Structure 1
Amino acid sequence: MSIAPSITINETSGITFLNIDNAVATAQISLYGGHILSFIPKSDNVERLWLSPHAYMNGEKPIRGGIPVCWPWFSDDHGREKGELPAHGFLRSQVWQLKSSEDTDRGTVIVLTPAFTRADGFEYDCQVTLEIVVGSALTVNLTTTNTGIVPFIYNTALHTYFEIPDINHVELKGLKGSYKDKTENFAVKQTPEPYRLNQETDRIHSDAAEQLMLFNRNEKHTQINSAGHDSIVVWNPWQSAASISDMDAFGFKQMICVETAVTSGRKVEPGEAHTLTQIIS
């Protein structure tokens, strides 16, 4: 298989990284976890993704930051006791394979597949592909195809960590309606206006907004487009970051997770495919 000219490959501490540098953007992808670590459009040279300086980059634990792939369940919603199965599923802690790459008019197109999709907690026949397009925008398509003879239900998310200058001056626009507050035992609350964070936040918004905007001091910082989702999850650990081993105690000030997600279960019939999409610009 030939590698696209815009891609260079290096290996550090047993992890293989794809480094993309084309006419419109740079990016970095870890094959451990099928994990996008960086995306910088050359139009403004501003990093869109936050990566913890204390992230485990040796395969010992899932990487903290970037875009973790949550599949086939979200959080600990796997039907077992908490901790019995890995949080957010088992794709983010395995080595993915590079199936193809090419430079196109859209940008650098990369297709990855996980080593396996059947494991304890999800024993169905399916195929998962992650298509990443590094262009003037970053397009991420996570496609699950049912290759078996029975339907299955799964949850999934692109758990994106966005880098921001200061959480105290960031506003998220585009959400409405109610959300479930995980910090208060899933209490149902109304989306605030303006939408700013000032405490630990873990919210599942049932409003599957197709376009969201992050503003910093009233200036556009990042646009987030989504498709194939049923919810948007917003997360920031705030001062609880001090208890997270792979995160700086004050790291919460430079990040906000805005996740394109399926949290209410997506049924996939035999022969059917479902794609979760997030586009970042």
Structure 2
Amino acid sequence: MVDRSHKPSAISAKAAGPQPTVDVSDNGVTAKLPTGESVEVLLHGASVISWKSKGEVENLWLSESAVLDGSKPVRGGIPVVFPNFGPAPKDHATSKNPQHGFARNVRWEFLGKSTSEGEASKGSDDSVKLDFGLYSTALSDEARKAWPYDFGLVYSVTLSQEGLRTVLNVRNEGKEAFEFQVLLHTYLRVKDISKTTINGLASATYSDKVLSLPTATQSTPTLSINGEVDRVYKSLAQDTTSVLEGGKPRFDVVRDNLVDTVVWNPWIEKAKGMGDFSPKDGYKNMLCVEVGAVDGWQKLDGGEGWEGGQVIRSLL
């Protein structure tokens, strides 16, 4: 046998580094990265109820009285709003649906997980994606009668060191076209709402539910919260909305194929009136920045699909 002078060396298998862990229970799914980040998703509503950054820092606000047994929507975290936002219009096909639709109040199916590889030198995975599905065939007869369309939803929750990505894919599985709205109702946890501001809304048009204004314009570059706020910002030019605490960046919320953003804080009186909102002064530690498509309707013909979502980055 002739010994080749430039014979390639044998490829040695690199030992796998630490991998994400995924625990599945009857109620939900929890994933954790080797670097400490974690996410927890209930099967009820596919609601994300916890997202922790490295160092066990909780980024989402969850009411202490949130109902997690599937009997009602979750107060806090990231509920999924579909196929209508708010009370459905009386003259629309969604008119018989409950407020904010049915997706947040039915049980979803866990479809599985997938991971992405990190840097080759680390030999470990740096993100994990959890997929959840909801199909028209899984709805109750009552819900099917209220909204009799054939659809399929796949909701993907991806945890990485950089942040949390949540994406909803909607598909019309039937022949008849339907219209829908979608919103990711994110409750961000903040230290002090009086010192929290929002950037990225300057010059945007919005409707103000508190003041009953159908149309107004954001006149300042920064929005401060000093009372009840419930605004729908429409067709935002910037993809990113930033939340600051004491003038320092806390969160970036980046929209993907979603042009609207709802900003909500119930403040004192409305918080007192919600039975599942606690502590009653919890409004001081939460701010909803909710990305969606809620100004008008998205339409899907038979066989068509649509996808939209967000990436939230914790900037601590």
Separation in 2, partners of 1:88, 1:160: 14
Give the counterpart letter for 1:196 in structure 2.
S
Amino acid at match of 1:235: W
Match of 1:170 in 2: 196
Task: Give the superposition deviation at 1:155.
Answer: 0.5
**Cα contact 1:78–1:121 (8 A) shared by 2:** no
Give the partner amino acid of 2:299. Answer: K
Secondary structure of 1:242's aligned partner = helix
Distance 1:253 1:147 in 2: 43
CA deviation profile, 1:10-57 (whole Å, cap 9, x unmatched): 45xxxx121111124111111111010111121x54222111111012
| Runs (5+) with no aligned partner, structure 1 | none
Distance in 2 (CA, whole Å) between partners of 1:99 and 1:126 is 16
Aligned mates of 1:85, 1:148 — CA distance in 2? 19
Cα deviation, residue 125, structure 1: 1.6
From 167, 176, 179, the counterpart of 1:141: 167
Q: For residue 44 of structure 2, what is the aligned residue in structure 1?
A: 32
> Which ranges in structure 2 are unaligned for 5 or more consecutive residues?
1-18, 118-125
Normalised to the residue count of structure 2, the TM-score between the two structures is 0.81
Please, which of 144, 156, 159 is the counterpart of residue 119 of structure 1?
144
Aligned residues of 2:169 and 2:307 also touching (Cα < 8 A): yes
Q: Does 1:9 align with 2:24?
A: yes
Asked whether the 8 Å contact 1:167–1:252 carries over to 2, the reply is yes
User: C-alpha offsets along residues 130-162 of structure 1, whole Å, 9 cap, x if unaligned?
Assistant: 011111211111010112223221111001000
Q: What is aligned with 2:276?
A: 246
Q: Is the 8 A contact 1:33 1:91 kept in 2?
A: yes
Amino acid aligned to 2:200: G
The answer to whether the 8 A contact 2:198-2:242 is kept is yes
Aligned residues: 273
Q: How does 1:87-126 map to 2 (within 5 A)?
A: 87-105=99-117, 107-114=127-134, 116=138, 119-126=144-151
How big is the alpha-carbon RMSD for the aligned residues of Structure 1 and Structure 2? 2.1
- Structure 2 letter corresponding to 1:201: V
State the alpha-carbon separation in 2 of the partners of residues 114 and 127 from structure 1.
Answer: 6
Are the structure 2 counterparts of residues 104 and 90 from structure 1 closer, same or farther at C-alpha, using a change threshold of 3 Å?
same
Within 5 Å, which residues of 2 pair with 1:175-214?
Answer: 175-176=201-202, 177-193=204-220, 194-208=222-236, 209-214=238-243
1:257 matched to 2:285? The reply is: no
Counterpart position of 1:49? 60
| Post-superposition offset of 1:60 | 1.8
* Deviation by residue 1:193-243 (Cα, 9 ceiling, x = unmatched): 221111111101113341111000011111100122231111111111011
Task: Give the letter for the 1:65 counterpart.
Answer: G
Structure 2 CA distance for aligned equivalents of residues 88 and 53 of structure 1: 22
Kindly state the Cα deviation for residue 270 of structure 1 after the two structures are TM-superposed.
Answer: 2.3
Determine the C-alpha separation between the residues in 2 that align with 1:192 and 1:198.
Answer: 16
**TM-score (normalizing by structure 1):** 0.90
1:104 CA displacement: 2.1
Letter in 1 for 2:212: N
Separation in structure 2 between the aligned mates of residue 87 and residue 244 of structure 1, nearest angstrom: 15
Using the TM superposition, give the Cα deviation of residue 5 of structure 1 relative to its aligned residue in structure 2, in angstroms.
Answer: 5.7
1:256 to partner: Cα distance: 0.6
Deviations for 1:97-147, whole angstroms, at most 9, x for unmatched residues?
111112323511111012536624422222110011111211111010112
Does residue 219 of structure 1 match 2:248?
Answer: yes
Name the SS of the counterpart of 1:195 in structure 2.
Answer: strand
Provide the identity percentage: 26
- CA deviations 1:149-184 (Å, max 9, x no partner) are 232211110010000001000011101322100112
